[in-house]
């Protein structure tokens, strides 16, 4: 499974909506999301590294209880992948959660995917250039 597929699964995990809402706090939901990689123990599971954020997001989605927390998870699913980390971090700060490792990892994943796509494009271009015939050098 590639990173892009994993990111899509992560987005699906973020849209998990639990039907039970109650008096839970938005701050608690944001703390769970921001620390979901650690709290879900996703890295301890026998899964590929690219699936860690998906599992963590699903874990946080299953535990979201406040209306605002559920609304945020639903809204994030519709945000451009490159902006999701910033949106989550901003929402966390608004809720009083100053440290958001999940947002950090999400942003790092997006940057790594972008760099990998750029490397592949460069390699394709170099391979294409190597196959093109070169003009003969004129004799002096």
Residues 29/76, Cβ–Cβ less than 8 Å: no
DSSP string, 41-81: TGGGSSS-GGGHHHHHHHHHHHH--SHHHHHHHHHHTTS-H
In a domain, 61, yes or no: yes
In the chain, the number of structural domains is: 1
The pTM for the full model equals 0.71
In a domain, 136, yes or no: no
In a domain, 97, yes or no: yes
Give the pLDDT confidence of 39-92 residue by residue, as tens digits.
999 999 999 988 999 899 999 999 999 999 999 999 998 999 899 999 999 999
Residues 99/107, Cβ–Cβ less than 8 Å: no
Residues of the domain holding 119: 3-131
What lies within 8 Å, CB to CB, of 2 at 6+ separation is 50
21 pLDDT higher than 50: no
Residues 45/55, Cβ–Cβ less than 8 Å: yes
Quickly count: other Cβ atoms within 10 Å of residue 88's Cβ: 26
Q: Is 30 exposed, middle or buried (0-12, 13-18, 19+ CB in 10 A)?
A: buried
Give me the pLDDT at residue 43, please. 93
In a domain, 12, yes or no: yes
């Amino acid at each position: 499974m590639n990173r892009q597929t994993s990111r899509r699964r992560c987005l699906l995990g973020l849209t998990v909506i639990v039907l039970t809402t109650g008096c839970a706090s938005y701050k608690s939901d944001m703390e769970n999301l921001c620390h979901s990689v650690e709290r879900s123990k996703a890295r301890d599971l026998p899964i590929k590294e690219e699936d860690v954020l998906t599992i963590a997001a699903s874990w946080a989605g299953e535990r979201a209880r406040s209306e605002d927390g559920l609304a945020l998870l639903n809204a994030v699913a519709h945000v451009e992948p490159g902006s999701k980390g910033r949106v989550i971090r901003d929402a966390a700060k608004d809720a009083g959660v100053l440290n958001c490792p999940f947002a950090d990892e999400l942003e790092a994943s997006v940057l790594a995917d972008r760099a990998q796509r750029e490397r592949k494009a460069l390699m394709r271009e170099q391979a294409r250039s190597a196959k093109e015939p070169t003009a003969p050098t004129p004799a002096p």
